[in-house]
């Protein structure tokens, strides 16, 4: 019984966290983007974070190698 | 892979000097140390910002790729979506932002000019002189923007210095020297910065560093033998032979990295 209650509680917490994350929903158009420090695999120029790129127009392009 | 990478390369080649940056986020699990090899083989000669970590998620992102987000000069998300279906829209938004970079922006004509100097002309010293000249007389309603412009200038100077360090850590001593010399031109007009950058430039004239710069130049020349065509495995042997002759040099790390990229076989 205790084990079942624990499972239900765990699921409830998981669903709450998932719902919260979904409500966060990522950055909307028109919002300021959060700062972030990159780990580049190539081409370090000193512009290592979004804040370093202020005054530039930045295209963040998600792509895949397949 | 779609057409997003070639388009980002084209835009970077055409507009990079004006203030456009493309950050390519590999999202299908390619290891960080493989991305350089992949790009060298598939898109030789391209110079993009490469990573496999997304800086943030877009609200309209469904998890599928291609997906892109455009961030404006003040850090506002201007657009998000599939770049293949919105080429004209993205190009128009980029053009509008680049126009702002060229003319500058700000609460007063002087702040606007200072931003044009720092972001469009790369004239950091002149921008610092201009901002210093108006500091005492700045009106209350423009003070926040003045402070913001000053912070942007300081950050720009710091990031360009950090870039010189970053290139040395990559053992791209050739690029590091070029960036130091370029920064020396940019800071003319600000005595403190001139002095600081002159010290950095002088380090590249020291015998050991000069050897590293020369070796890095040789490595890059070999690696880019084929120009816009992909590097071939025979270049890997040439690079490793050069590394053997210079075993004590730091730039042998660059030779080995380039050798691996030259013989990399994309999945």
Partner-chain residue, chosen from A33, A41, A43, that has the shortest CB–CB distance to B56: A33
Compare CB distances from A62 to B27, B35, B163 and report the shortest one's residue. Answer: B27
Question: Rounded to 5 degrees, what are φ and ψ at B2?
Answer: 65, -165
The predicted-structure confidence for A22-32, as pLDDT tens digits, reads as follows 345 799 999 99
pLDDT interval class at B85 (50, 70, 90)? confident
Which among A27, A57, A63 has the least Cβ separation from residue B57?
Answer: A27
The DSSP output letter for B230 is P
User: Distance from A13 to chain B by nearest Cα, in Å?
Assistant: 23
| Cβ–Cβ below 8 Å for A38 and B266 | no
Name the pTM for this structure: 0.87
Q: Least CA distance to A55: which residue of chain B?
A: B73
Record: contact A64-B8, CB cut-off 8 A: no
Kindly state the average pLDDT of the residues B150-155.
96
Phi, psi at B221, each rounded to 5°: -65, -45
Cis omega (within 30 of 0) for bond into B66: yes
Put simply, the answer to whether B73 touches A64 (Cβ < 8 Å) is: no
User: Are the Cβ atoms of A52 and B159 closer than 8 angstroms?
Assistant: yes
What value of ipTM does the predicted structure carry?
Answer: 0.91
Which residue bears the tokens 């040439």? B238
Q: Touching check for A31 and chain B: CB below 8 Å?
A: yes
B-chain CB neighbours of A46 within 8 Å are 158-166
The Cα–Cα gap between B153 and B122 comes to: 10
Task: Give the position of tokens 């001139």.
Answer: B194
Q: Given the structure tokens 């720009």, which residue do they identify?
A: B156
Q: Is B118 on the interface with A (CB under 8 A)?
A: yes
Q: What's the gap in Å between the CA of A10 and the closest CA on chain B?
A: 26
Tokens representing A43? 């081409």
pLDDT tens digit sequence for A12-55:
444 333 333 334 579 999 999 999 998 887 767 888 899 999 99
Average pLDDT score, chain B? 94
- Any residues with CB less than 8 A from the CB of B129 and at least 6 apart, and which? B189, B190
- Whose CA is closest to B142, among B103, B110, B189, B98? B110
Give the pLDDT mean for B204-208: 97
């Amino acid at each position: 019984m205790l084990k079942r209650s624990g499972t239900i509680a765990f699921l409830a917490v998981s669903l709450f966290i998932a719902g919260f994350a979904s409500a966060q929903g990522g950055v909307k158009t028109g919002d300021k983007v959060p700062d972030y420090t990159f780990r580049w695999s190539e081409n370090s120029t000193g512009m290592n974070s979004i804040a370093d790129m202020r005054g530039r127009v930045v295209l963040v392009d998600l792509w895949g190698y397949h | 892979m779609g057409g997003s990478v070639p388009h980002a390369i084209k835009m970077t080649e055409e507009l990079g000097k004006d203030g456009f940056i493309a950050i390519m986020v590999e999202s299908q699990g390619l290891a960080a140390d493989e991305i350089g090899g992949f790009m060298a083989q598939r898109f030789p000669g391209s110079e993009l910002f490469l990573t496999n970590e997304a800086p943030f998620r877009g609200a309209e992102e469904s998890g599928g790729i291609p997906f892109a987000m455009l961030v404006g000069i003040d850090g506002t998300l201007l657009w998000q979506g599939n770049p293949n279906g919105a080429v004209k829209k993205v190009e128009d938004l980029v053009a509008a932002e680049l126009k702002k970079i060229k003319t500058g922006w700000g609460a007063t004509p002087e702040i606007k000019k200072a931003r044009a100097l720092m972001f469009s002309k790369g004239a950091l010293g002149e921008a610092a002189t201009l901002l210093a000249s108006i500091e005492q007389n700045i009106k209350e309603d423009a003070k926040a923007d003045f402070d913001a412009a000053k912070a942007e200038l300081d950050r720009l100077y710091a990031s360009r210095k950090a870039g010189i360090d970053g290139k040395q850590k990559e053992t791209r001593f050739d690029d590091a020297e070029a960036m130091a010399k370029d920064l020396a031109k940019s800071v003319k007009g600000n005595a403190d910065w001139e002095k600081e950058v002159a010290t950095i430039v002088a380090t590249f004239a020291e015998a050991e560093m000069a050897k590293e710069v020369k070796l890095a130049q040789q490595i890059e020349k070999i690696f880019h033998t084929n120009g816009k065509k992909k590097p071939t495995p025979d270049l890997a042997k040439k690079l490793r032979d050069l590394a053997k002759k210079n075993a004590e040099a730091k730039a042998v790390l660059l030779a080995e990295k380039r050798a691996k990229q030259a013989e990399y076989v994309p999945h």
